[in-house]
Amino acid sequence: MTDQDFTPGLTPGHLGAPVLEPEGRPPGAPRPRHDPPDPHRRRNGLACGLTALALIAVFGGLGLAGYSWLDDQRKPPAAADYAGPGSGEVQVSVPEGAGLTQIASALVRNGVVASSLAFTRAAKGSAAAAGRIQPGTYTLKQRMSAAAALAILVDPANANGLTIPEGWRGSQIFAAIDKKLNLPEGTAQRTAQEQAAELGLPEFAKGSPEGYLFPATYSVTDGTTAVDLLKQMVERAGKEFARDDADVVAQNLGQNLYGLVTIASMVQGEADNTEDMAKVARVIYNRLAKNMPLQLDSTINYALGRSTLNTTVTDTRLDSPYNTYLHAGLPPTPISNPGRQAIMAAVDPAQGDWLYFVTVKPGDTRFTDSFEVQQRNVAEFNANRSASAQPSASSGASSGTPSGSGGH
């Protein structure tokens, strides 16, 4: 028997071997014959092809026309707009935090621009308007082009507003209101006392607005009164203390809301910079938990109506409920009007066991839980003060007291 796997010339594909037939036709069967093409069928195919091309051209043209129509529909409609700088005069107030839509509505309402859409488009297309338009009261004209109105609004010099810095005391704010409104000295303070019930203060404040005159920029118009500004400030403070569930957080920290406001005011007065605020707040909470007197120079400064780093030993014996060297716990009211960052520090203090701090030099506030370390830091503070030719300081820091002088 012959083994075909090993016999030369018999392996399929080998030179001289039979050609493999395609599957489906047995070996040796005759190949199928192909009939010549039918000329009628060829003409019919050509006609079908031409018809298909014509249809493609027609529907393609319709599609292109439809796309052009849809593209036209997608284009934003023209916005009504005036031309030129306008005429006459009108005052428009921009409140704190107002967005472009709110500002545009005020402009339309006062007849300054023709449409909100024209103004918002102008503002969004302007690099100068990329930043927020400053709050305040702007003197504009009526029937101005959107671009002309925008040019006035983006210039902070045109904002007739009253700006209250963070940490100002009520006395400073009252004086600023009198000056801005051209009122006799003492008018705003007297207004705050006589119309306290109209300011919207919480009941626990007992008519004292200290701590609730929130630092921000407020609009001032020809008709603005002292009570108008005070009410705006109190309203804004209420919103700030409500936005973080401060009432609930205060209870978790062992305080009521008024206590939290008071702590925020002391943080504002004691911290050398915003980065240290949460640590200062923690020192205050830690000392309150241990029933230790706070011994903060800022509270004595408040009682004496001053701002200084020099607190003498005599000062620490001051007979005042604001003297936190003599009296444990919080002072009876806030001692300033804290800003957002100080409030956040009081709401969310840093984690730590510190009981003492002192600002040895600007930008260098040191926190510790060791009285011995605090004394060394205080000695360095005094040495720095002496080297800078300042009067000798017998302050909370220099007398070895716990908290030091980090305030204003």
Rounded mean pLDDT of 305-331?
92
- Between 277-289 and 340-347, two packed helices, what is the crossing angle to 10 degrees? 40
Q: Which residue has the higher pLDDT, 17 or 161?
A: 161
Which amino acid is present at 22?
P
Predicted confidence band at 12 (pLDDT cuts at 50, 70, 90)?
A: very low
Q: What is the pLDDT of residue 386?
A: 83
Rounded mean pLDDT of 188-205?
96
Rounded mean pLDDT of 20-26?
40
Q: What is the pLDDT of residue 308?
A: 82
| Least trusted range by pLDDT, from 68-72, 105-109, 186-190 | 68-72
Give yes or no for residue 368 having a pLDDT over 90. Answer: yes
**Separation of alpha carbons 368 and 356, rounded Å:** 5
Q: What is the pLDDT of residue 44?
A: 57
Q: What is the pLDDT of residue 117?
A: 93
Looking at every residue in the chain, the average pLDDT score rounds to 82
Q: Torsion angle, CA of 242/248/253/259, rounded to 10 degrees?
A: 50
Rounded mean pLDDT of 211-216?
96
Predicted confidence band at 2 (pLDDT cuts at 50, 70, 90)?
A: very low
* pTM of the shown model: 0.71
- Report DSSP letters for 295-349, one per residue: --HHHHHHHHT---S---TTGGG--STT-TTTS-S--SS-SS---HHHHHHHHSP
All structural domains of the chain with their residue ranges: 87-159, 162-242, 255-387
Q: What is the pLDDT of residue 29?
A: 47
Give yes or no for residue 393 having a pLDDT over 80. Answer: no
Give, in words, the CATH class of 87-159.
alpha beta
Give yes or no for residue 392 having a pLDDT over 60. Answer: no
- Residues contacting 198, CB < 8 A, separation 6+: 227, 231
| Least trusted range by pLDDT, from 18-27, 329-338, 360-369 | 18-27
Q: Do 312 and 398 form a contact (C-beta atoms < 8 A)?
A: no
93 beta partners: 137
Is the four-CA dihedral 20, 24, 30, 31 of positive or negative sign?
Answer: negative
Residue-wise pLDDT tens digits, 120-172: 998 887 766 656 788 889 999 999 999 999 999 998 889 888 999 999 999 99
Give yes or no for residue 363 having a pLDDT over 50. Answer: yes
Predicted confidence band at 11 (pLDDT cuts at 50, 70, 90)?
A: very low
Q: What is the pLDDT of residue 185?
A: 96
